[in-house]
Amino acid sequence: MLPVHCCQFLLFNVCVNISTLFIYFVYYSDLLSTAYYQEIKHEYDFIIVGSGTAGSVIAHRLATETNYTFIVVEAGIRSHALLEAPVLGPFFHGSLLDWQYQTVPQEHACFAMKDRRCKLAQGKILGGSSKLNNMIHVRGNLTHYQNWFHGKYAKEYIQKQFEYIENNILHLNEVQYESELANTILTAAKELGYSNLDKDFKLGFRKNIVSQKYGKRWSTSDNLESKHVITNVLVEKVIFNDNTARGIQVLSLGKHSTIYARKGVLLSAGAINTPKILQLSGIGPENLLKSLSIPVIKNLPVGRNLQDHIGTGLDFLLFNKSVSISALDMINPFHVLEYFIKGKGPWTTPGCEVIGFLSTKNQSEPDLQFMVLPVGLSSDRGSLLKNNVNLKDEIWDKYFSKSFDSYVGTILPLILHPKSRGYVIINSTDPSLPPLLDPRYLSHKDDRDTLINGLKLVMKFVNTEAIQKVGGSINENHFPSCENFEIFTDSYFDCYIKHLTLTSYHPVGTCSMGLPDSKNTVVDTSFKILGVEHLYVADASVLPTLPSGNINAAIAMMASICFESIINAKTNIPFCNKNDRIYEYLFRICFDS
């Protein structure tokens, strides 16, 4: 590196270390608070495991629309006001606020990553992965949601659920700050004949609607009152009486205990942790459970059907002048003050300014999404982002560090509906150990073809007058290990995507919703686990297929329907007063027996 680049690296690295130290401070402060001030009751009407988008939507509606008692159990810590700055999201990856999951070595992807393992960040904090994501709100294709429920709900009903959460639960705003790249891309899209999108889903582009309030990150967990949440509590398994869920076994500050549920346990721990908890509890593939000597409660395909939106193309787009956001913008004291005083400026950036939906097959329905990022992997000179994606040092040295003399941006093509399928399985009965994650990225040839065609579309965009006018060009450095292929041919791109495989952190499908006779079904269309009473799942794991876009909005909508299906459907069931001592006595006898 040149001396100026070394100075930039050192400066950025200092910022990374300061952020890391602050995360440690917040983490251990909350841990100390938990030890002295957190109270866990013996039982509640409902237990919600996980405080991510789905769990928090259901909890909020429970608190505001019913008299039921409930508790949200979160393995991570509570957030802090200083952690809500949107620009800080990447700093949480790999930190104490992240489960720090990685895939197993991939056969067809992630070659540029250490040990061929892609990182799969998932939030370990109140709010879950909504505290780490890009905050993008997109409804997607409503027809796909109808298919999830097998026609149980009309398109109009699903649309009303979106309108309800958008008007009553979420806080949505236009992007508060944008680089020159955003308007450049929209102009290029118009030049190529793409329309501007509103809420309707079709081919086209738009600036993002983001989940922010006054420029700060906003999550559905921000609706929750402290009395309804316990943190730093690891759920080890669900407790059963025959085939009926009665509560959960938890570990908090080294102490094991049991929390009982009178009416139901709702798992909302995400597409990785929900199947892990179910398998540890005896619900999953029979062969797997028996191999670990776990008593089988129900033989179901828990953990199968794992899918994810994956893409490629970091630092594929170069400029000869600044049209994007640089790391120097983030450490500029003026911009820091602008954020904290006005809720404006680069610190409000969601990391993605524009999204677009395109078809690689010239059809009316898109199979590809563009995410336009005003940064590249080399923007911070290697102080943070390259570690977030687990990049090999030699790849960094031979490719990404070569871009230091240019300004980088990214048009990230993502496969909307991948055909590759993987799995999540436990390999131990120890709840503190991570499960095995094998998404089998790019194992299906159609996915590789779609992503290759996506890169060709990126090149088509770069060749537009709009992008040429601001000095845009394609990175012509050969990607390491792909030098034997003529650059920008299909063979080269096939090598490129297998090396630079990037997740958008959208795992779904591991507890799929469906009809009882389907081979992948774990929960029915009322979110109830097949063959088990009082146990429900509501999170990304129940999505049988990926939505056509970022998943947070779809999960919030789905959680609202879950509340209607489980909670409101029970309002006609006789409910004993929670202060009835006789009822409490009988409850404990039944559950403790």
* Per-residue pLDDT at 554: 96
Neighbours of 570 (CB within 10 A): 15
Render pLDDT for 140-172 as a digit per residue (tens, 0 to 9): 999 999 999 999 999 999 999 999 999 999 999
Q: What are phi and psi of 545, to 5 degrees?
A: -140, 165
- What residues contact 138, with CB distance under 8 A and at least 6 apart? 209, 355, 549, 550, 553
Is 308:418 a contact under the CB 8 Å cutoff? yes
DSSP 508: B
Contact 270, 540 (CB under 8 A): yes
Give residue-wise pLDDT tens across range 257-275. 999 999 999 999 999 999 9
On the 0-12 / 13-18 / 19+ scale of CB atoms within 10 A, 580 is exposed
CA distance 157 to 146: 10
Within 130-233, residue ranges assigned H as helices are: 142-148, 155-168, 180-191
d(CA 516, CA 87): 44
Mean pLDDT by 10 residues, the chain (593 residues): 69 84 94 89 96 98 96 96 92 96 98 98 97 94 93 94 96 91 95 87 91 95 95 98 96 95 97 98 98 97 98 94 75 88 91 94 91 89 91 96 88 97 98 98 98 97 95 95 96 98 97 94 97 98 96 97 86 40 49 45
Where does 463-576 have alpha helices with state H?
465-469, 490-499, 552-566
The contacts of residue 235 (CB under 8 Å, 6+ apart) are 49, 73, 75, 248, 249, 250, 269, 277, 431
Q: Which of 40, 332, 366 is nearest to 201 (CA)?
A: 366
User: How many Å apart are CA 410 and CA 371, to the nearest integer?
Assistant: 8
Angstrom distance (rounded) from CA 218 to CA 89: 12
pLDDT confidence of residue 576: 39
104 is in an annotated binding site: no
Cα–Cα dist 412/505, whole Å: 14
Q: Which two tokens stand for residue 543?
A: 């999505």
DSSP 8-state class, residue 214: T
- DSSP-assigned states of every residue in 463-486: TSHHHHHTTEEE--SPPTT-TTS-
Q: What is the pLDDT of residue 333?
A: 86
Closest CA to 141 of 515, 554, 428: 554
Q: What is the CA radius of gyration of the chain?
A: 24
Q: Within 13 Å of residue 410, how many CA atoms lie on the same side as its CB?
A: 24
Pick the CATH number of 3-570 from 3.50.50.60, 1.10.620.20, 2.40.128.110, 3.40.50.2300: 3.50.50.60
pTM, entire model: 0.93
Buried/exposed code over 375-399 (b: 16+ C-beta within 10 A; e: otherwise)? bbbbbbbbbbbbebbbbbeebbebb
Q: Which pLDDT belongs to residue 577? A: 40
Which among 306, 354, 281 is positioned nearest to 545, based on CA atoms? 306
Contact by Cβ (8 Å): 408, 417: no
> Which pLDDT value is given to residue 4?
65
Rounded to whole angstroms, what are the CA distances from 467 to 317, 470, 473?
10, 5, 8
pLDDT at residue 363 in the model: 83
Cα distance between residue 116 and residue 503, in whole Å: 13
Structure tokens of 323? 């049209």
What integer pLDDT is reported at residue 60 of this predicted model? Answer: 97
Q: Which stretches of 60-129 are assigned E, i.e. beta strand?
A: 70-73, 101-102, 119-120
**Can you read off the two tokens belonging to residue 8?**
């930039």
